[in-house]
Amino acid sequence: MVDRTPPHLDVKRPLIRGVLQDIETARALLDHAMKRALGTRRLRSPAVMMGVPADATLAERDALIAVARDVGLRRVRLVPEPLAAAAGAELPYDRPGGTMIVECGAGTTEVAVLSLSGLCLSRSVRTGGAALDQAIADHLHAQHKFLVGEQTAERIKLEHVARRDDAAAGGATVLAKGLSLTSRRPATIEVALAELDEVVDRHATLIVTAVLDALNATPPELSQDIHDRGIVLTGGAATSWIRRRVSEASGVRVSIAEAPLHCVARGLQHLLCAAA
The answer to whether the CB of 147 falls within 8 A of the CB of 139 is no
**Collapsed DSSP state (helix, strand, coil) of residue 46:** coil
Burial class of 273 by CB neighbour count within 10 A (0 to 12, 13 to 18, 19+):
exposed
**pLDDT class for 169, splitting at 50, 70, 90?**
low
Architecture of domain 15-85+266-275: 2-Layer Sandwich (3.30)
- Residue 47 neighbours by CB under 8 Å, 6+ apart: 75, 77, 272, 275, 276
Mean residue pLDDT of the chain comes to: 92
Secondary element (H or E) of residue 216: helix 193-217
The per-residue pLDDT for 163 is 85
- pTM of the complete model: 0.90
Instruction: State mean pLDDT over 138-149.
Output: 96
- From the options 3.20.20.70, 3.40.50.10860, 3.90.640.10, 3.40.1190.20, give the CATH code of 129-193: 3.90.640.10
**pLDDT class for 218, splitting at 50, 70, 90?**
very high
Which comes out higher in pLDDT, residue 47 or 235? 235
Query: What is the residue extent of each domain of the chain?
Result: 15-85+266-275, 91-128+200-261, 129-193
Most confident of the ranges 112-116, 164-168, 192-196: 112-116
Over the range 124-147, which residues count as b (16 or more CB within 10 Å of their CB) and which as e?
bbbbbbbbbbebbbebbeeebebe
Comparing CA positions, the residue from 146, 217, 223 lying closest to residue 180 is: 146
- From the options 3.30.420.40, 3.30.70.1400, 3.40.50.1970, 3.100.10.20, give the CATH code of 91-128+200-261: 3.30.420.40
The per-residue pLDDT for 134 is 94
Q: Is the pLDDT of residue 268 over 80?
A: yes
